[in-house]
Structures are given as structure tokens and as C-alpha cells.
């Protein structure tokens, strides 16, 4: 579930797909929803997203290209840090004044669909204003809910294991597709013994990794209606996480908290950590070592449970300009020049045309592209687990309670009970 690589890692990386704050506040959008248009036939649509200044600069360049192609459509922009974005969006949606088009994520689709906020873009596909052809690896279905098109992917990512390559080499460990959790934990012990650091930054709050583990075992974090696992399942997961800290193969959460916002891997107190593949660039900018992407460990040596996640563009049901909004989305996901400007800022481009248009020259982005290609070639990708209304609250709770557990503020039993209590309230179950 793709969230922003600029967003503070403990929320975005660990809760994922909801993932803490990024810097940057952009120009404020117009106060009213959907401008009625000028006398010359020009209309204005409002576009909002979360991110930092560098994303805003890239997006503004793409908007200039769009307005050049569609001179009768003007775009007013609004961007915020991640948490501020959703606070503002909630206020706008509650007041009947959401932006015409906005950046969205899988954890929010059912929530805002239930609030009657999202426009079904299927009619615009039928009208020829938006094409859903040419998407990579099944991403054209990513934003569908009950047969309705509520979001269009702009990029893809998948969970991966980011490693300090020299630390793995010194330990004599070479991760390969299909390695098991037993292989992985044996590797962490070797890294601990050879380098004097923990093998992994810890797994208390990595919700999307836990989802993959559940999927490997025939379950999932979410079903369409609620949680897809039991209190006993979560107790087992968090008990193993605690034991890993005690054994020194996972970093002490107190040390993780002390070095934030720097990652444990870049700070050289962990040999690797699980995160979204397109976040890899942050490690190179933070650390001094060489970093790479390794496969997800498996239960049976075959099934990883992985899927491609994505940020997406959604439209407001209250927009007065559905055609123009559809044309805008179509341009942003298909126009090759947009990919050349955006790069992998929001993940690997979702359409083949944009994927082919941007060929990274730096080693980090090359490795991201190669990693996703390897997932397709290995045939491990599956459909994404449905996210029910209230999923975003469950994600936040998993992160927060997992951190409290790691810091010794709760026992495993207390943490499990608290998570299920909050989740049942959020999901209405």
C-alpha cells in the first residue's frame, strides 16, 4: 500500500500503507468545490495530494504539461504533509467540499466510499475520457471496489527486505527467492555474531509484513468485512518479535526510537529491515554503506503473499467537472513525459507506457525496477487483500500499540487485547 517515501518512517513504513509527517505546505486550494467555469469555457479543477516540496515541484511541472494540452482546463493545487492532508480532507469531505481529484491509498477507499465521497469513474471509461488499458501486472483492478472504479493507480510498489549488503556479505548470507523464515532467522544470527549488530530493525509494528505472513498461511490481515486473523495469531507474532529482541537478532526498540527519524539500517544498528521497495532511496541518502533489496522470506519456500500496492488518483462525487477530471487522471497515468518528470517518486509507473518512458540511470532506482520485474518473473504476485471501512484506523492502532509493546509499556497480552478492542470499534464488528 503505497505511501510516501518522504513521510516519517515509523508511520508510513511500519503502518504502511498508512504510514508520520513530511515537510512542505503548498498553496491553498480554492474555497469552493468545482469552479463553475469562466465565460470562455475554461473550467478549474482542484487537485490535492500529500508529500513534500520536491514532489510538489515535480507535480507542478506535470500540471503545466497538462494545461498545455488542455488549455481550457486549469488546475489549482493543494498539498500537505501526510497527516495534515487527511485532517484537511476529512474536514472538506464532511463539509461537502472535497477537491475534484486527489491522491488516495487503498486503506481509504472503502472508508470514503461509505461516506459517499468517491466518484465511480467507470462511466468516464465508457465515455472514452479515461483509459484503463496498458496497466502493469493487474494494477488496473487495484482501485476497484465491488465492480466500481474508485481509484486509478499512478505507481506501484511491493514489500521488500532492504539490506546492508556488506553486512550480509561478511556474514556469508546470500538471500534468494524462496528462502524460508527459518533461513532468514539463521541469517540474522550470523549477522549478529559477525557484525555485532542486530540482523533486523524489528517487526513489532510492520503491519504489511504481518499481512504477507498471514497470506502465506492462508489468512490475511483484512477481509472485506473486518480482521482476517485471531487474537492467538497476533499473540504468536508479537511473542516472536519480543523473543527476537531478547535474542539480539532484532534491534532494541528503545534504540530505534533514539535514532529516529534515521533508519536503523543507515545508523548501522541493524543489518536490514522490511519496507516498501521504492523507499530504498532514503537509505542511500542517510547511510554510508551499500544497500540492496532482498526477497520476502516464505513459509513453504514458494508463496510470499506479495502484491503490488499503489498510490492512486480518486475523484470527488461532488465534482462539477467529471469529464475534465477523468481527462486529467488519464493524462497523469498514461503520458510518457509525466513519467520522465515524476520518476519513481510515487512508485514504479503503473502503466507500461510510462514504465518504458522512464529508464533510471542510478543504481538505487535500477534495483527497484529489477526487484519488481523479478516478482513478476517469479510469479509470486497475488491480488491485494480487500481493506474494509475503518482499515486506516486499524493500521494506526497496530503501529502505535506495537511501538508501546516494544518500548515495554504493554505486555503482549495487553497489546493484543488493546488492538482488537480498538479495531472492533473502528470496523463496527
Q: How far is CA 85 from CA 31, 79, 241, 388, in A?
A: 16, 7, 32, 21
Q: What is the DSSP annotation of 54-72?
A: HHHHHHHHHHHHHHHH-TT
Distance CA 94, CA 80 (A): 18
Name the DSSP letter for residue 314. E
Q: What is the DSSP annotation of 89-136?
A: HHHHHHTT---SEEEE-HHHHHHHHHTT-B--THHHHHTTSS---SBS
Q: How many residues does the chain have?
A: 429
The model's pTM is 0.82
pLDDT digits (tens, 9 = 90+) for 201-254: 999 989 999 999 999 999 999 998 899 999 999 999 999 999 999 999 999 999
Q: Evaluate whether 264 touches 251 at the Cβ level (below 8 Å).
A: yes
As a whole-number percent, the residues of the chain with pLDDT over 90 amount to 79
pLDDT score for 232:
98
pLDDT digits (tens, 9 = 90+) for 325-361: 999 999 999 999 999 999 988 989 999 999 999 999 9
Residue 362's CB: how many other CB atoms inside 10 A? 12
pLDDT digits (tens, 9 = 90+) for 267-301: 999 999 999 998 887 888 889 999 999 999 999 99
- Structural domains for the chain: 18-156+309-358 (3.40.190.10), 159-306+386-427 (3.40.190.10)
pLDDT score for 350:
95
Distance CA 33, CA 176 (A): 51
**Regarding beta strands 272-276 and 159-164, do their DSSP bridges make them parallel or antiparallel, or are they unpaired?**
antiparallel
Distance CA 51, CA 342 (A): 13
Distance CA 409, CA 399 (A): 14
Distance CA 168, CA 117 (A): 48
pLDDT digits (tens, 9 = 90+) for 142-200: 999 989 999 999 999 999 999 999 999 999 999 999 999 999 999 999 999 999 999 99
> At residue 4, does pLDDT exceed 50?
no
Q: Evaluate whether 30 touches 44 at the Cβ level (below 8 Å).
A: yes
Nearest CA to 51 out of 139, 154, 140 is that of 154
pLDDT score for 15:
36
Distance CA 13, CA 239 (A): 21
pLDDT digits (tens, 9 = 90+) for 296-328: 999 999 999 999 888 999 999 999 999 999 999
Going by pLDDT thresholds of 50, 70 and 90, the confidence category of residue 379 is: very high
pLDDT score for 320:
97
pLDDT score for 282:
82
Q: Evaluate whether 276 touches 160 at the Cβ level (below 8 Å).
A: yes
Residue 254's CB: how many other CB atoms inside 10 A? 11
Q: How far is CA 377 from CA 137, 180, 277, 370, 398, in A?
A: 11, 19, 16, 10, 32
What are residue 180's DSSP bridge partners?
298
Report residue 363 as a C-alpha cell.
543504481
Residue predicted with more confidence, 138 or 254: 254
Report residue 24 as a C-alpha cell.
512542505
Going by pLDDT thresholds of 50, 70 and 90, the confidence category of residue 52 is: confident
pLDDT score for 21:
29
pLDDT score for 83:
83
Q: How far is CA 284 from CA 19, 145, 287, in A?
A: 20, 37, 5
User: Which residues are CB-neighbours of 87 under 8 A, at least 6 positions away?
Assistant: none
Residue predicted with more confidence, 125 or 36: 125
| Helix or strand run (H / E) with residue 405 | helix 391-406
Distance CA 106, CA 281 (A): 23
pLDDT score for 11:
38
Angle subtended by helix axes 207-216 and 231-246, to nearest 10: 120
Going by pLDDT thresholds of 50, 70 and 90, the confidence category of residue 38 is: low
CA atoms in the 13 A half-sphere facing the CB of 226: 12
Amino acid at each position: 500500500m503505497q505511501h510516501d517515501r518522504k513521510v516519517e518512517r515509523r508511520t508510513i513504513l511500519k503502518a504502511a500503507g498508512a504510514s508520520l509527517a513530511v515537510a512542505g505546505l503548498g498553496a491553498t486550494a480554492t474555497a469552493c468545490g468545482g469552479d463553475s467555469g469562466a465565460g470562455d469555457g475554461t473550467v478549474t479543477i482542484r487537485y490535492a495530494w500529500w508529500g513534500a516540496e520536491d514532489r510538489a515541484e515535480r507535480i507542478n511541472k506535470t500540471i503545466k504539461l497538462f494545461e498545455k494540452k488542455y488549455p481550457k482546463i486549469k488546475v489549482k493545487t493543494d498539498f500537505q504533509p501526510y497527516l495534515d492532508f487527511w485532517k484537511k480532507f476529512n474536514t472538506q469531505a464532511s463539509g461537502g467540499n472535497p477537491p475534484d481529484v486527489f491522491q488516495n491509498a487503498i486503506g481509504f477507499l472503502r472508508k470514503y466510499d461509505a461516506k459517499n465521497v468517491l466518484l465511480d469513474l467507470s462511466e468516464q471509461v465508457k465515455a472514452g475520457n479515461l483509459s484503463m488499458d496498458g496497466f502493469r501486472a493487474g494494477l488496473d483492478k487495484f482501485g476497484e471496489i465491488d465492480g466500481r472504479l474508485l481509484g486509478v493507480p499512478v505507481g506501484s510498489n511491493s514489500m521488500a527486505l532492504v539490506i546492508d549488503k556488506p553486512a550480509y556479505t561478511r556474514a556469508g548470507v546470500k538471500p534468494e527467492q524462496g528462502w524460508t523464515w527459518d533461513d532468514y532467522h539463521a541469517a540474522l544470527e550470523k549477522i549478529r555474531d559477525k557484525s555485532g549488530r542486530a540482523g533486523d530493525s524489528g517487526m513489532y509494528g510492520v503491519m504489511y509484513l504481518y499481512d504477507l505472513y498471514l497470506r502465506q498461511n492462508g489468512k490475511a490481515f483484512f477481509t472485506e468485512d473486518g480482521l482476517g486473523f485471531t487474537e492467538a495469531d497476533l499473540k504468536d507474532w508479537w511473542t516472536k518479535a519480543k523473543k527476537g529482541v531478547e535474542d539480539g537478532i532484532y534491534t532494541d526498540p528503545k534504540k530505534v526510537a533514539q535514532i529516529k527519524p534515521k533508519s536503523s539500517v543507515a545508523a548501522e544498528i541493524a543489518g536490514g529491515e522490511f519496507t516498501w521497495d521504492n523507499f530504498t532511496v532514503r537509505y542511500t541518502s542517510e547511510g554510508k554503506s551499500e544497500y540492496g533489496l532482498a526477497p520476502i522470506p516464505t513459509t513453504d519456500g514458494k508463496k510470499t503473499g506479495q502484491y503490488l500496492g499503489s498510490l492512486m488518483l480518486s475523484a470527488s462525487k461532488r465534482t462539477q467537472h467529471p469529464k475534465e477530471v477523468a481527462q486529467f487522471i488519464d493524462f497523469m497515468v498514461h503520458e510518457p513525459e509525466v513519467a520522465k518528470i515524476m520518476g519513481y517518486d510515487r512508485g514504479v509507473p503503473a502503466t507500461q507506457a510510462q514504465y518504458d518512458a522512464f529508464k533510471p540511470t542510478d543504481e538505487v532506482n535500477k534495483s527497484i525496477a529489477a526487484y519488481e520485474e523479478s516478482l513478476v518473473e517469479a510469479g509470486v504476485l497475488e491480488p491485494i487483500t480487500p481493506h474494509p471501512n475503518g482499515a486506516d484506523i486499524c493500521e494506526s492502532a497496530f503501529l502505535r500499540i506495537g511501538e508501546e509493546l516494544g518500548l515495554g509499556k504493554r505486555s503482549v497480552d495487553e497489546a493484543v487485547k488493546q488492538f482488537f478492542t480498538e479495531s472492533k470499534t473502528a470496523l463496527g464488528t
